[in-house]
Amino acid sequence: MEPRLTVQLTLKAYDVLLPVATGFVEKTALTFGLGKKEALTLALATEEVFLYLCHISNPETELEIRCRSNAYCTATDFLFEAEGFQMKAFNLTAIPSFEDEASTQEAGLLIAARLVDRFNLQYVGKRLLLTFVKDKAYPEIGDLEPPVSMPLSRFFICRPDGEEIKAAVRMIRQYCRDRFNPPEVDFPGKVADIFASGELDAALAMDKAGHIGGALFWSRDVPEGVECIGPYIFHSESDPEMAVALLNHCMEEIARSGAAGLINRYSGTGLPTGYFESLGVLTFSRGDGTRVDVETSYRHLREDKGIAVWAHPDLAPFLESQYKKFVLPREIQWVTVEGEKKSSFSVLSAEMNRFGHWAVLRPLVYGEYAATVLADHVRLLEKEGFSSIFFEMDLKNAWQAHFTQGLLKNAFEPRLLIPYGGKGDLVVFQRRVQSEA
Amino acid sequence: MISLFSPQKLLPRHIQTFEAYVPSRPDPELMKMYGCSRLFRLNNNENALGPPPEAQEVLRGFPPKAAALYPSGDAFYLRHALARKFNREPEQFLVGNGANEVIAFVIKAFCEQGDNIVTADKTFAVYEWVARFSGLEARLTPLRDFAFDDEAMLARMDERTKILFLCNPNNPTGTYWDRTRLCGFLDRVAGRAVVVVDEAYAEFVEARDYPNCMSLMETYPNLVVFRTFSKMYALAGLRIGYLAGATEVVDAIRRTCIVYSVNRLAQEAALAALPAEDHILSTRLMVREGKDYLHRELEELGLPFISGEGNFLMVRLPFSDTLAYRKLMTRGVMVRTMTAFRFPNYIRITISSMEAMEALVTALRVILT
DSSP label at A343?
B
Instruction: Return all residues near B321 (Cβ < 8 A) that are at least 6 apart.
Output: B337, B338, B339, B343, B344, B345, B346, B347
pLDDT at B1: 46
- CB–CB contact A306 B33 (8 Å): yes
Dist. CA A258–CA A256, nearest whole Å: 6
Distance from CA of B63 to the nearest CA of A (A): 36
Dist. CA B57–CA A276, nearest whole Å: 49
- Tell me the CA distances in angstroms from B210 to A60, A268, B183, B188, B254, one per residue in order: 75, 49, 12, 20, 28
Q: Are B325 and A306 in contact (CB under 8 A)?
A: no
Dist. CA A315–CA A405, nearest whole Å: 9
- A289–B contact, CB cutoff 8 A: no
CA quadruple A181, A354, A131, A377: dihedral, nearest 10: -120
Below-50 pLDDT ranges, chain B: 1-2
Run of H or E including B279 = helix B277-301
CATH code given to domain A156-275 = 3.40.630.30
- CB–CB contact A277 B323 (8 Å): yes
CA quadruple A373, A379, A381, A386: dihedral, nearest 10: 140
pLDDT at B356: 98
> What backbone torsions phi and psi does residue B157 show, to the nearest 5 degrees?
-70, 145
Select the residue of A64, A256, A274 nearest B345 (Cβ to Cβ). Answer: A274
- With CA atoms as reference, the chain A residue closest to B325 would be A303
- With CA atoms as reference, the chain B residue closest to A64 would be B2
Domain B53-273 has CATH 3.40.190.10: no
pTM of structure: 0.89
- CB–CB contact B24 A303 (8 Å): yes
The DSSP bridge partners found for residue A282 are: A294
- CB–CB contact A258 B21 (8 Å): yes
Domain borders along chain B are 8-50+278-368, 53-273
Dist. CA B193–CA B220, nearest whole Å: 11
Rg of chain A on CA atoms, in Å: 23
Dist. CA A250–CA A157, nearest whole Å: 10
- A299–B contact, CB cutoff 8 A: yes
Select the residue of A299, A328, A331 nearest B320 (Cβ to Cβ). Answer: A299
- CB–CB contact B344 A329 (8 Å): no
CA quadruple A156, A160, A166, A169: dihedral, nearest 10: 50
Select the residue of B18, B318, B342 nearest A252 (Cβ to Cβ). Answer: B342
- In three-state secondary structure terms, B59 is helix
Residue of A256, A320, A323 to mutate, testing the B interface (most B Cβ within 10 Å of its Cβ):
A256
pLDDT at B269: 98
ipTM computed for the complex: 0.85
> Quick one: which of A353, A357, A331, A351 has its CA closest to A392?
A351
Q: Are B310 and B333 in contact (CB under 8 A)?
A: no
The DSSP bridge partners found for residue A297 are: A264, A278
Distance from CA of B238 to the nearest CA of A (A): 23
Dist. CA B99–CA B362, nearest whole Å: 34
- B281–A contact, CB cutoff 8 A: no
The ranges of chain A annotated as CATH 3.40.630.30 are: 156-275
CATH code given to domain A307-431 = 3.40.630
Total number of residues shown for chain A: 437
The secondary structure of B74-99 as a DSSP string is T-HHHHHHHHHHHTS-GGGEEEESSH
Q: Give, for all 437 residues of chain A, the pLDDT tens digit.
A: 666 889 999 999 999 999 999 999 999 999 999 999 999 999 999 999 999 899 888 889 899 999 999 889 999 999 998 777 777 777 777 766 666 666 666 777 878 888 888 888 877 877 888 999 999 999 888 778 888 888 888 899 999 998 999 999 999 999 988 888 888 888 999 999 999 988 899 999 999 999 999 999 999 877 788 999 989 999 887 777 899 999 999 999 998 888 899 999 887 667 888 999 999 999 988 767 788 899 999 999 999 988 999 999 999 999 999 999 999 999 999 999 888 888 888 888 888 777 778 889 999 889 988 999 999 999 988 888 888 999 999 999 999 999 999 999 999 999 999 999 999 999 999 998 765 54
Residue of B19, B128, B323 to mutate, testing the A interface (most A Cβ within 10 Å of its Cβ):
B323
Total number of residues shown for chain B: 369
- 193-252 in B: which are within 8 Å (CB) of A? none
Dist. CA B71–CA B53, nearest whole Å: 22
As to burial, measured by CB atoms within 10 angstroms (0-12 exposed, 13-18 middle, 19+ buried), residue A56 is middle
Dist. CA A86–CA A80, nearest whole Å: 13
CATH homologous superfamily for the domain A6-135: Histidine kinase-like ATPase, C-terminal domain (3.30.565.10)
> Quick one: which of A71, A112, A72, A77 has its CA closest to A7?
A77
Residue of A81, A244, A327 to mutate, testing the B interface (most B Cβ within 10 Å of its Cβ):
A327
For β-strands B194-198 and B161-167, DSSP reports them as parallel
- With CA atoms as reference, the chain B residue closest to A220 would be B17
Domain B8-50+278-368 has CATH 2.60.40.10: no
Distance from CA of A339 to the nearest CA of B (A): 32
Dist. CA A225–CA B165, nearest whole Å: 30
